C-alpha cells in the first residue's frame, strides 16, 4: 500500500561530558555488611535527578565503596556530584570521593546525579556484592512475576484480589497492585481489596513484586474485573469485524492518541485494532519505535484513564494506553501488525526460515511486559513474490509457509491475520502467491481495496483511488474492489475471511481543469503530511464532493482533483460487503476521521 510511509520520529539522547571523571580503582572489600538504595528525587520531563545512598549496616568501618548498575538504553548520567561516575555502554559505575569513602558502622553517605531518559537502574552491586546486603555474589536479580491475580467478593465499588507469591534470590519485600497500569497500593501480603470503584465499570489488575533492594520484577498476567451495578454494557456490533489501524507514529505530528478513540466515540463501534507497525528485520519480528510503543509518558489529559504516567511504572507508551482502552472496552481485540510498506523488505529473510520467524514474533508479542495487550498478530507483507517498495523473489509458496508457521506457533487461541493486495488484474499480484493455501491458516485477510490510482502517475488520468466497481474509462482493468474480491473467491478463499478496506484519506492531483474523472494533471496536490494525500477530516470542508463514480466520491476545487470516501459512499460499500457475505471491514487509519468519528460510525451502521 503506497500510503504506508512510516513517519520517522528522531529521538537523540544528548550525552554531556562529566566533569572530573576519573578511572575506576580496584574494587574494595565485598559489601556483605552494607546496602545501597536508589531514589529519583526530581523529574522534569526531559531529565531527572537521582540519588544513591550507601549505608554501613555492619559492625566495622568501610574504607571505600563502589556501586555499579545498568541503565536501559536511552537513560544516562549527564553530571554527578560526591562521586566519580563512569560508564561502559549501558553499565555505570560510581566510586567514592577521597572525602566520603570511609563509613563507620551505622553511617550513611549519598551522592547525586542528573540524567536523561526515564529508565530505572537494575543489576546493582556494591563493592562486588548485592546492593541489598547479601553475600559477595555479584548482581541482584529482580523478583519473578507473581501469579495472575484472581478476583472475588466483587461489589459495586470494590474487589478482593489474591495471587501466588513471587520468588527472589534475596527475598520479596512487598507487592505493587496496579489498576489499569497504575499503582494503587503497595502491600506485603498476597492479597488486597481495592475500594472506591465505580459501579458497572471495567478494570484490569496486575501485580508486580519488589525485592529488598526495591527492584521491581515483571508484572503478572492481568485479570479483568467488571463491578456490579451501573448500566454500562459492552457495545453490540454483531458478528462482522470492524477493524481500524492505529499508527505508532500518530502520537507525534498528528497528536492522535489512543484516548482519541474514546473521545470520538469510535471505541464503542469497533471490534479490533491493528497496531502498526512492528519491524521485520534479520528474519525476525522487532520493535518498531520503542519510545512510542512502551516508553512515552502520557499526561493525564492524554491518557485513557485520565491519570498521568509516572517515571517508575512498568509499562508506558501506546501499549499501556491500549491496555487501559481494553479495560474500558473488554470486547476490543488488539493485534500487532508487522511490516507495512516501509518494512516489507525484511520478509524475504523471514520466509527463508518461517519457524524461526514465527518463534521471534511469538516471543515479542507475548513479552511479559505487554502480553495481555495483544490478542494476535497481523502480517502486512507488501508484496509476496511481487514488487512493492522493493521486489520480493521468495517464490509463490513463501507466504503460505510463513502463515502456516505463525499459526502453528500461536495456536488456535490467538488471531493470525494478514493485509493482502487488492490487485485483481490478469497476471497481477493476487496470482503471484498462494493466497488460497495461506487462507487455511488465517482468521481473515484485510484486502487493501484502496490506492488503486494516485498522483504517482503525475499527469493522470485522474481516477478514484478506491473504486468499488469498474467504470467507463478506468485506467486499468481489474483495479477495483469487486475484481479483487471476486478473484479471491474464485481461487477458494471463503468470503467470510475477506474484509473490505476503506481509506480515511483522499488522493489528489493538481493542474486539473475538468470535473469528471479522466482529466490530465501536472502533479500531486498539496497535502498536510505528504504530497498527493490528505485526511478526510480536512477534505470534507477544504474540497467538498463534486460527484460520485464507481461507488466512491470525487471533488474538483480550483485546480485540484481529489477522490475519497464519505459516510454516504461507505454506507454503499458496507451494503455491498454484506451482499457478498464478507467478514466485515477495516480501515486505514483512525486519525484521518473527524473528531466525532463519522467514518467509523458509517462503517458500524453499515455492517449492522
Beta-ladder partners of 333: 272
Q: Is the pTM of this model over 0.75?
A: no
Residues 172 and 157 sit within 8 Å (Cβ to Cβ): no
pLDDT tens digits for 404-450? 999 999 999 999 999 999 999 999 999 999 999 999 999 999 999 99
Q: What's the CA gap between 152 and 162, in Å, rounded?
A: 8
Q: Is 49 designated active site? A: no
Measured in whole angstroms, the distance separating CA 56 from the mean position of its chain's CA atoms is 45
Q: What's the CA gap between 30 and 231, in Å, rounded?
A: 61
Q: What's the CA gap between 439 and 404, in Å, rounded?
A: 9
pLDDT computed for residue 155 by the predictor: 80
Q: What's the CA gap between 463 and 509, in Å, rounded?
A: 10
pLDDT beyond 70 at 8: no
Express as a percent the part of the chain with pLDDT over 70.
Answer: 92
Give one DSSP letter per residue of 361-386, joined into a string.
HHHHHT-TTTTTT-SEEEEE-S-TTS
pLDDT beyond 50 at 237: no
248, 324, 382, 589: the active-site residue: 382
Which domains are delineated in the chain? 34-130 (2.60.40.290), 150-226 (2.60.40.10), 241-503+566-607 (3.20.20.80)
pLDDT beyond 80 at 505: yes
Q: Strand 505-510 to strand 523-524: parallel, antiparallel, or no bridges (unpaired)?
A: antiparallel
Secondary structure class of 586 (helix, strand, coil): strand
pLDDT tens digits for 579-601? 999 999 999 999 999 999 999 99
Amino acid at each position: 500500500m503506497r500510503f504506508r510511509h512510516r513517519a520517522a520520529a528522531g529521538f537523540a539522547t544528548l550525552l554531556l561530558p562529566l566533569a572530573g571523571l576519573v578511572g575506576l580503582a580496584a574494587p574494595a572489600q565485598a559489601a556483605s555488611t552494607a546496602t545501597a538504595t536508589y531514589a529519583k528525587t526530581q523529574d522534569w520531563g526531559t531529565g531527572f535527578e537521582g540519588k544513591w545512598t550507601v549505608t554501613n549496616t555492619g559492625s566495622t568501618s568501610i574504607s571505600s565503596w563502589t556501586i555499579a548498575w545498568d541503565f536501559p538504553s536511552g537513560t544516562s548520567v549527564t553530571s554527578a556530584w560526591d562521586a566519580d561516575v563512569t560508564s561502559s555502554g549501558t553499565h555505570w559505575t560510581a566510586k567514592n570521593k577521597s572525602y566520603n569513602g570511609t563509613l563507620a558502622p551505622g553511617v550513611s553517605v549519598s551522592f547525586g546525579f542528573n540524567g536523561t531518559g526515564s529508565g530505572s537502574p537494575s543489576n546493582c552491586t556494591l563493592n562486588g556484592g548485592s546492593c541489598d546486603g547479601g553475600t559477595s555474589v555479584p548482581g541482584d536479580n529482580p523478583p519473578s512475576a507473581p501469579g495472575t491475580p484472581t478476583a472475588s467478593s466483587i461489589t459495586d465499588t470494590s474487589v478482593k484480589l489474591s495471587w501466588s507469591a513471587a520468588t527472589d534470590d534475596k527475598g520479596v519485600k512487598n507487592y505493587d497492585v496496579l489498576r489499569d497500569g497504575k499503582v494503587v497500593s503497595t502491600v506485603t501480603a498476597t492479597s488486597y481489596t481495592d475500594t472506591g470503584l465505580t459501579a458497572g465499570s471495567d478494570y484490569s489488575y496486575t501485580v508486580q513484586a519488589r525485592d529488598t533492594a526495591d527492584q521491581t520484577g515483571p508484572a503478572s498476567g492481568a485479570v479483568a474485573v467488571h463491578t456490579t451495578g451501573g448500566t454500562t454494557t459492552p457495545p453490540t456490533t454483531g458478528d462482522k469485524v470492524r477493524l481500524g489501524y492505529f499508527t505508532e507514529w500518530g502520537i507525534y505530528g498528528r497528536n492522535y492518541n489512543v484516548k482519541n478513540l474514546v473521545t470520538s466515540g469510535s471505541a464503542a463501534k469497533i471490534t479490533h485494532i491493528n497496531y502498526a507497525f512492528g519491524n521485520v528485520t534479520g528474519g525476525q519480528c522487532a520493535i518498531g519505535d520503542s519510545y512510542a510503543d512502551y516508553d512515552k509518558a502520557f499526561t493525564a489529559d492524554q491518557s485513557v484513564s485520565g491519570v498521568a504516567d509516572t517515571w517508575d511504572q512498568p509499562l508506558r507508551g501506546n501499549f499501556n494506553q491500549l491496555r487501559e482502552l481494553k479495560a474500558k472496552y473488554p470486547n476490543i481485540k488488539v493485534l500487532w501488525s508487522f511490516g507495512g510498506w516501509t518494512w516489507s523488505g525484511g520478509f524475504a529473510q523471514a520466509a527463508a526460515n518461517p519457524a524461526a520467524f514465527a518463534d521471534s514474533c511469538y516471543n515479542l508479542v507475548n513479552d511479559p511486559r505487554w502480553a495481555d495487550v495483544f490478542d494476535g498478530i497481523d502480517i502486512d507483507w507488501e508484496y509476496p513474490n511481487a514488487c512493492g517498495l522493493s521486489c520480493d523473489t521468495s517464490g509463490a509458496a513463501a507466504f503460505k509457509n510463513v502463515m502456516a508457521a505463525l499459526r502453528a506457533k500461536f495456536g488456535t487461541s490467538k488471531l493470525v491475520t494478514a493485509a493482502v493486495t487488492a490487485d485483481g488484474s490478469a497476471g497481477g499480484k493476487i496470482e503471484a502467491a498462494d493466497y488460497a493455501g495461506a487462507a487455511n491458516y488465517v482468521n481473515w485477510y484485510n484486502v487493501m481495496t484502496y490506492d488503486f490510482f494516485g498522483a504517482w502517475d503525475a499527469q493522470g488520468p485522474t481516477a478514484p483511488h478506491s473504486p468499488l466497481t469498474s467504470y467507463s474509462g478506468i485506467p486499468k482493468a481489474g483495479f477495483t474492489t469487486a475484481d479483487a474480491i471476486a478473484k479471491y473467491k474464485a481461487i477458494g478463499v471463503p468470503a467470510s475471511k475477506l474484509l473490505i478496506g476503506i481509506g480515511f484519506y483522499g488522493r489528489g492531483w493538481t493542474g486539473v481543469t475538468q470535473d469528471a474523472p479522466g482529466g490530465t494533471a501536472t502533479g500531486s496536490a498539496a497535502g498536510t503530511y505528504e504530497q498527493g494525500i490528505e485526511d478526510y477530516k480536512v477534505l470534507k470542508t477544504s474540497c467538498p464532493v463534486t460527484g460520485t463514480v464507481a461507488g466512491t466520491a470525487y471533488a474538483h476545487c480550483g485546480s485540484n482533483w481529489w477522490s475519497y470516501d464519505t459516510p454516504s459512499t461507505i454506507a454503499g460499500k458496507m451494503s455491498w460487503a454484506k451482499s457478498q457475505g464478507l467478514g466485515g471491514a477495516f480501515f486505514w487509519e483512525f486519525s484521518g476521521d473527524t473528531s466525532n468519528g463519522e467514518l467509523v460510525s458509517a462503517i458500524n451502521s453499515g455492517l449492522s
